[in-house]
Amino acid sequence: MSSYFKLAWRNIWRNKRRTIITTASVLFALLFALIMRSMQLGTYRKMTDNLVQVYTGYIQIHKTGYWDDRDINNSFDASESLMRFVETTPNISDVVPRLEYFALASSGRQTKGVALIGIDPVREDHFTHLTKWLSEGSFLKEDDIGVMVAAKLSRYLQLQVGDTLVLLGQGYHGISAAGKFPVRGILNFPAPDMNNQMVYMNLSACRDFFSAGENVTSLAINLVDPDKIDETIAALSSNSLTRNLEVMKWDKMLVEVVQYIKADNASGIIFLAILYLVIAFGVFGTVVMMTAERRREFGIMVAVGMQKHRLALVTIIEIMIVGLLGIISGILVSLPILSWYFHHPIALTGEYAATVENYGIEPLMCFAFQPDFYITQAAVVTMIVLAATLYPVISILRMNVIKSIRSKI
Amino acid sequence: MFWSIAWKNVWRNKLRSLLVIMAIALGVAAASYSAALMFGMATQKIKAAVSNEVSHIQLHQADFLENFEIRDSIPQPDQVGAGIAGIPGVKAVTERSVITGMTMSATSSAGIQINAINPDLEKKVTTIYTKISDSSGSYLAVGKRNQVLVSSKIAEKLKVRVKSKIILRFQSADGTIIDGAYKICGIYKTSNGIFDEMNIFINRDDLSRQLGKEAPVHEIAVLLSNNDYLEKVTGTIKKENPALSVLTWKQLQPELGMLTGLLTISLYFLLGIILAALAFGIVNTMLMVVLERVRELGMLMAVGMNKRNLFKMIMLETIFLSLTGGIVGMVISIAVTGITAHSGIDLSSFARGFESMGYDAFIYPELRPDFFIGTVVLVIFTGILSSVYPARMALKINPADAVRGE
Amino acid sequence: MEIIRLIQLHKIYDESGIPVHAVNGINLTVSEGEFTAIVGPSGSGKTTLLNLIGGLDKPTSGEIFIEGTNLSDLKPNQLIDFRLRNIGFVFQSFNLIPVLTAHENVEFIMQLQGRGREERHVRTNELLKSVGLEDKIDVRPRNLSGGQQQRVAVARALASKPRFILADEPTANLDSKSTSNLLDIMEKLNHVEHMTFIFSTHDQRVVSKAHRVITIEDGQVVSDVNQEHFVHKV
C-alpha cells in the first residue's frame, strides 16, 4: 500500500503547477466557506443571545393561551410554591416575574398609548441589565411607587424626572384603571419601539393599578447552560404546578427572528452550494484532462502487468491527496483567522450599526468558532473530491489497453 | 488580427474548453439568477411601500413628524394640494389627518395611528383598497357614516370582525379626550406587518364632525407617474412650499432607500467570489494550453512575433474562453428568469419571517441591465487577470530551445 | 555581396552542470544568392549555429553581422523585429499555426509586418503558387501531407521578403519524393529569385543538391567546399 502512496505522491508533483493551483482552489473555497459560515452562525447566535438573554429569556411561563392573546385577563397567580419550584429546577439561573399590559399615558396635553410593565427591579436588572439604559434620574427601588419612562416617550409627554405621569387603562376583568405616578428615571433604549412606549413600574404597584391581585403575565427564565434547554423545559412542564400554564421556548416567542435566521441561513447555504459546484467543476476538469493526458502511460502500465483496479486505486489516492492538501491547508489558514475574530468581534459602524441597534441587537459582527461547521464543510469538499475520482476510475476500468498505447500522447 | 486566431485557438481542444465554459456558465448563471431574485424582492418591497404606505413624496408641517401633535397641521392644504397636482410627473395627490390614539373593543385595546382620509382621493394614491379580500368587507365609502378600515392584525388583537364596533379615542388640540364609535367596514392586509399593526382609516368627514370643525390636514401624500420624476418634482414642491417639510420615500424610510444600494454591493461581492473561484480553473486551463504549445509559440517568436503580441494573443484567448462561459451563463439566467417571472416563486414557508420585514412571500425575479453589464465587465476582468500568469509563462519561452527539434 | 559574417563565434551551454562547447570558434561569411548546406552528425553544433545566425540565441563570445548589423547591438525587441523583416525560417516541424489555413499562415507574417490587405492577398496567392500549392489555399495543416506543410512553410518564410532563409533539417520528417520536391522548389527560388538559402541537414540527397557545403564537427568548421559546378542546374 505504501508503494501506491509513493507512486501517487510523486505523480502529483509531476505537474507541480497544476497540483498547486488545484489545491489552491480548494483552499480558497473552503476558507471562504468557513469564514462565511462562521460569520453567519456567529451573527445568529448574537442576535438570539441579545434578544433572548436581554429580553424574553430562554423560557417563559405564561397562562396557557397568553402568548396568542396578550390580555391582562390571561395573567396567572405566581404562587410561592410555583416560584420555589421554578427557581430550584436545575439549570435555571434567573427567574423574573412580569406583569405587562397596555395603558394610556397622559401628561397635560399629550396622551399616548404605552406598554406598562410591572417588574421586580433588582431581579429584572440582574436579568436584563436594565440599569444600563438609565440616562437620567434613578432606577426604581423596591416598594417604590414611581415609574421609569422610556426616553422618546418622556420627550413626547414632556416629562422630566420628578414630574407626574397619569396612567389610564382597562384592568383585570374590565375594572377601570387610573393612577398618578412620579417619574423616577428615564431609560434610553436603542430600539425605537421600546424607546417610544415603555413604562416601568414596581410589580406591586402595577398589580394595584390593574387590580390584578398577585398575578403576573409572564415568568421569564434564563439558563445556566442554554444547550440543555429542552431538558429544562421538560422538567418544568412535568410538574402539576405548571399544569394550566404554557412553558414556552424562546423560538416560539421570537418567531420572526427565527424565520429571518432560517431564510438567511438558507441563502447562505445556497451560495455555498454554488461556490462548491464551481470548484467541483474545476477539480473535475483537472481530473479529466489529467486522465486524457496519461492515457498512453496508463495503457503501458496495464500492458506490463499492473492490475487495472490497482492502477485505479493509485489514481484515487492521487486525487484524494490533492483534495486533502487543499482541505487541510484551508482549515489551517482559517484557524488563526477565525480564532482571532471570535475573540475580537468586529464593531459595526455608521448607518448600518444604527439599523441593527434599532432591532435591539448589538452592532457587532460576531464569529462562531466551533467544530460543527468545520466538520460539515470539510465533509462536503471531501465528497466532491471523492466524486471527481469516479471519472478516472471508470475510465481506467473500461480502458482498451492497445488503443491507449497507440494514442497520440 | 489576433482576435480570429485567439478565437479559433479556444476550440482546439473542445473537451477542455467546454469543461471550463460550462463551469463559468454555471457559476455566472447561478449568481445572476440569485441576483435577479433578490432584486425582485427589493423592488417589490419598495413598490409595496410606495403604493401602500409612504407614496413617493409626503408633505408635513415642519414639526409634525417630531411628536405627531394634532395642532401641527398644514395651513391651506387644499391650495398646496392643487399646486402640487399641476406639476408634471405628478399622478395624484391626497390629504389626510393623522392622529395617534387608542382603539378599544369589548375585550382589548391597542395604540394605533388614525388616518382620516377622503376615500376617492385616497384610492388614486394608495392601493390599500385593493388589499381587502372578498370576505373581509369593503373599503370606506363616501357618504356612509362612522366607518373604519382596520388591518387584520389589529382585528385579531381586538378580536373583532367586519361589522364589529370599536371605540376610537384620541386627544384634541385643547386636551379634551374624544371618543367615537365606529363600525368596521373592512379588513385589509398588506405585506408589511409593521405598517398593518399601527394603521387604521376613517373618513375625514367623520373626524370633522367629532371635532366640530374641519379636520386639520397633517399629511399630503403625492404619487408620481414614475419614480424618475422624484428629484425634480420634490425640488419644485420644496420651492413652492418653503415652510413645509417635504420628504421623499427614501427619506421617510431610509432603510428602504439604502436597500437597493446595499444589495447591489453585496451581490457584486458574491459574484466576485464565484469568479475568483472560477479563475483557478481558467488559469489551470490556460497553463495547460501554453505548455502544450511551447513549440508553436517558440516558432512564432522566432519568425517575428514580439512579446507584446504574444501576450495579447494569450490574453485574448483567455478572455474569449471566459466570456463565452459568461454569456452562456447569462443566457441561461435570462431564460430561467423569463420562465419564473410570470408565476413567481413561492416562499410561503418562510412567509412569516419575510412579512415581518416587509417582504411579500411571492418573489418575481427581475433582471437589471446595469448589473448585467457589471457582470460582463467582471467576467472580462477575470479573464484578463487569469491570463497574466499563463502569458508570462509563454513569454519565458526561449525560441531557440523551443524549436530545437526533438 | 556579403550578407552574413561570423567572427570567432563561440557558444557554450550548461547542460546539467556539464559545459558543452557547441560552437567552438567559427568564422564564416555567406554571400547573397548562396544555396548552402551545413552538414555534420547529431550533436555537431549545426542547429546551434543556425540558431545563432538567426538571432534566436546569443553567442558566448564572438560576433554576428547581418548586412552590417551586429546582432549583439540589438535589444531583445529590436531583435524580434529584425528577424521579422530580414530572416525567414523553416523548421523541421511545427512550422505552421494549426488553426489557420495555408493561406492564412502565409498571410500571418505579412500581417505582423503591417502590410496592406491587398498586397497581402496578392502576394500570398503568388507565393503559394510558386510552391505549387495554389489549390490548397484554404486547407488547414492537419489536412496537408508533411511535404505540403513544409512547402507552405517555405512560402511563409518568403512572405516577409527576407534577406535569407534558414532551414533547420527541413526534410528530416519527409519521404524521398517530398524531399526532392521541396529541394526542387528551394532550388528554383534560389535560382529565379536569388533567394539565399542556408540549411542544416544530414541527409546525403540534400547535401548533393547544395552549391556550398560546410561541414561542422565538434563545433568547428572542418571543411567548406564549393560544389556548384558538380550540381545539376535546374
Decide if C211 contacts C225 (C-beta within 8 A): no
Q: B303 and C97 in contact by Cβ < 8 A?
A: no
Q: E strands along B64-217, which residues? A: 90-104, 109-117, 132-137, 147-151, 165-171, 177-188, 199-203
Q: Do residues B55 and B223 make contact, with C-beta atoms less than 8 angstroms apart?
A: yes
Q: Does residue A248 belong to any structural domain of this protein?
A: no
Domain that holds residue C202: 2-230
Residue A58 lies in a domain: no
Inter-chain contact B67–A104, Cβ cutoff 8 Å?
A: no
For B325-351, write each residue's pLDDT tens digit.
999 999 999 999 888 887 777 766 655
Is the residue at A249 inside a domain? no
Per-residue pLDDT for B163 more than 80? yes
pLDDT at B357: 57
- Residue B295's pLDDT is 87
ipTM greater than 0.85: no
Q: Count the alpha carbons within 13 Å of A151 in the hemisphere toward its beta carbon.
A: 11
On average, the pLDDT of chain A sits at 86
Contact status of B113 with chain A (Cβ, < 8 Å): no
**A293-313: average pLDDT:** 81
Answer whether B306 sits within 8 Å of C81, measured CB to CB.
yes
Domain tally for chain A?
2
Name the residue ranges covered by the structural domains of chain B.
2-49+258-403, 63-242
Q: Which stretches in chain C have pLDDT values below 50? A: 234
- Measured between CB atoms, does C234 come within 8 Å of chain B? no
CATH of the domain at C180: 3.40.50.300
Residues in chain C closer than 8 A to B299 (CB atoms): 89, 91, 94-95
CA distance B20 to chain A (A): 7
- For A174, A204, A216, the CA distances from A210, given in Å and listed in that order, are 9, 10, 11
Select the residue from B280, B286, B349, B385 to test the A interface by mutation, using most A Cβ atoms within 10 A. B280
User: Residue holding cell 571543411?
Assistant: C223
Among chain C residues, CA nearest to B310: C112
* B265 lies within 8 A of chain A by CB: no
* Mean pLDDT confidence for A358-378: 83
The answer to whether residue A60 is domain-embedded is no
Q: If you write DSSP's letter for every residue of C113-155 in order, what string do you get?
A: HT--HHHHHHHHHHHHHHTT-TT-TT--GGGS-HHHHHHHHHH
Strands B244-248 and B57-61: antiparallel
* Cα C222 to Cα C28: distance, rounded to the nearest angstrom: 12
Structurally, chain C folds into a number of domains equal to 1
Nearest-CA distance A311 → chain B (Å): 24
Nearest Cβ partner of C56 from B300, B302, B405? B302
The pLDDT assigned to A152 comes to 86
Examine the domain organization and report whether A25 and A154 are in the same domain.
no
Residues A74 and A119 in one domain: yes
- Any B CB within 8 A of C100 CB: yes
Cβ contact B171–A156 (<8 Å):
no
Q: Check pLDDT > 70 for residue A283.
A: yes
Say what the pLDDT of residue A408 is: 58
Higher pLDDT, C40 or B194: C40
Read off the pLDDT of residues B98-138 as tens digits, 9 standing for 90 and up.
988 888 888 777 888 999 999 988 999 988 888 888 888 88
- Contact at CB, B304 and C84, closer than 8 angstroms: yes
**What residue of B is the nearest CA neighbor of C50?**
B400
| Optimal mutation site among C13, C79, C83, interface B, most CBs of chain B within 10 A | C83
Please state whether at least 3 CB pairs lie below 8 Å between chains A and B: yes
Residue B373 has pLDDT above 90, yes or no: yes
Q: Is the separation of the CB atoms in A303 and A406 below 8 Å?
A: no
Mean per-residue pLDDT, B296-309 = 88
Q: Provide the shortest C-alpha distance from residue B40 to chain C (in Å).
A: 45
Nearest to A289 among B67, B288, B353 (CB): B288
Chain B environment of C71 (Cβ under 8 Å): none
Interface test with C, best of B3, B403, B406 (most C CBs within 10 A): B403
Whether A59 is in a domain gets the answer no
Share of chain B above pLDDT 70, in %: 95
**Can you give the pLDDT at residue A252?**
87
What is the pLDDT, as a whole number, of residue B347?
Answer: 65
**Distance separating alpha carbons of residues B400 and B299, to the nearest angstrom:** 9
Which subunits sit against B, judged by 3+ Cβ pairs under 8 A?
A: A, C
User: Using the beta-carbon criterion (under 8 Å), do C169 and B306 form an inter-chain contact?
Assistant: no
Question: Side-chain half-sphere of B402: how many Cα atoms within 13 Å?
Answer: 23
Question: Is there a single domain that holds both residue A115 and residue A203?
Answer: yes
Nearest CA in chain B to C111: B1
pLDDT in tens, C31-58: 999 999 999 887 778 888 988 998 888 8
Alpha helices of B178-306 — where are they, by DSSP H?
193-198, 204-211, 230-240, 249-252, 254-292, 294-303
Cβ contacts (< 8 Å) between C157 and chain B: which residues? 303
C103 touches chain B (CB under 8 A): no
**Pairwise CB contact (< 8 Å): B304 & C80:** yes
Residues A232 and A274 occupy one common structural domain: no
Tell me the nearest-neighbour CA distance from A109 into chain B, angstroms: 5
Residue B406: band (very low, low, confident or very high) from pLDDT cuts 50, 70, 90: very low
The answer for B 329-388 residues in CB contact with A (under 8 A) is 347, 350, 352-354, 356-357
> Tens digits of per-residue pLDDT, B265-284?
889 998 999 999 999 889 98
Q: What is the pLDDT at residue A409?
A: 47
Contacts of A32 in chain B (CB under 8 A): 273, 277
Could you say which of A182, A217, A243 is where a domain stops?
A243
Residues 122-181 of B with CB under 8 A from C: none
In this structure, the answer to whether residues A304 and A382 fall within a common structural domain is yes
DSSP states along A50-67:
HHIIIII-SEEEEETTTT
The pLDDT confidence band at residue B376, using thresholds 50, 70 and 90, is: very high
Which pLDDT value is given to residue A17? 87
Percent of chain A with pLDDT over 90: 24
Residues A77 and A220 in one domain: yes
- pLDDT attached to residue B105: 86
Contact residues for A115 (Cβ-Cβ < 8 A; gap 6+) = A100, A101, A102, A197, A198, A199
CB atoms A281 and B30 under 8 Å: no
Q: How far is A259 from chain B (nearest CA, A)?
A: 4
Decide if A33 is inside a domain.
Answer: yes
Instruction: Inform me whether the C-beta atom of residue B261 falls under 8 Å from chain A C-beta atoms.
Output: no
Indicate if the pLDDT at residue B361 is higher than 70: no
Q: Give the model's pLDDT for residue A147.
A: 93
**Chains C and A touch, using 3 or more CB pairs below 8 Å:** no
Contacts of A33 in chain B (CB under 8 A): none
Q: Is the pTM of this model over 0.80?
A: no
Q: Do B111 and A355 touch (CB under 8 A)?
A: no
B100 to chain A, any CB pair closer than 8 A? The answer is: yes
Q: What is the pLDDT of residues C73-95, one digit of tens each?
A: 988 878 888 888 899 988 887 78
Q: Which residues of A touch B288 (CB under 8 A)?
A: 18, 289
SS percent in chain A: helix, strand, coil, step 5:
60, 20, 20
Same domain, A72 and A197: yes
Query: Are C80 and B9 an interchain contact pair (Cβ–Cβ within 8 Å)?
Result: no
Query: Over the stretch B42-94, which tens digit does the pLDDT of each residue have?
Result: 888 888 888 888 899 999 998 888 777 888 888 888 888 888 888 888 999 99
Q: Which range marks the domain in which residue A115 is found? A: 65-243
Residue C185: CB atoms within 10 A of its CB come to: 20
Q: What is the pLDDT of residue B374?
A: 93
Cβ proximity of C234 and C212 under 8 Å: no
What pLDDT was estimated at residue B324? 95
Q: What is the DSSP letter of A116?
A: E
Instruction: Assess C154–B contact: CB distance below 8 Å, yes or no.
Output: no
B302–C54 C-beta distance less than 8 A: yes
B169 contacts on A by Cβ (under 8 Å)? 104
**Which of 174-233 (B) contact C at CB < 8 A?**
none
Q: Which residue of A has its CA nearest to B386?
A: A21
Q: Chain B within 8 Å of C168 (Cβ-Cβ)?
A: yes
A167 burial (CB, 10 Å; 0-12 / 13-18 / 19+) is buried
Residue A166 in domain: yes
Indicate the range of A18-22, A183-187, A367-371, B353-357 predicted with least confidence: B353-357
- pLDDT of A361 over the 80 cut: no
- Answer yes or no: do A160 and A99 share one domain: yes
A217-248 core/surface letters (b: 16 or more CB in 10 A; e: else): bbbbbbbeebeebeebbebbeeeeebeebbbb
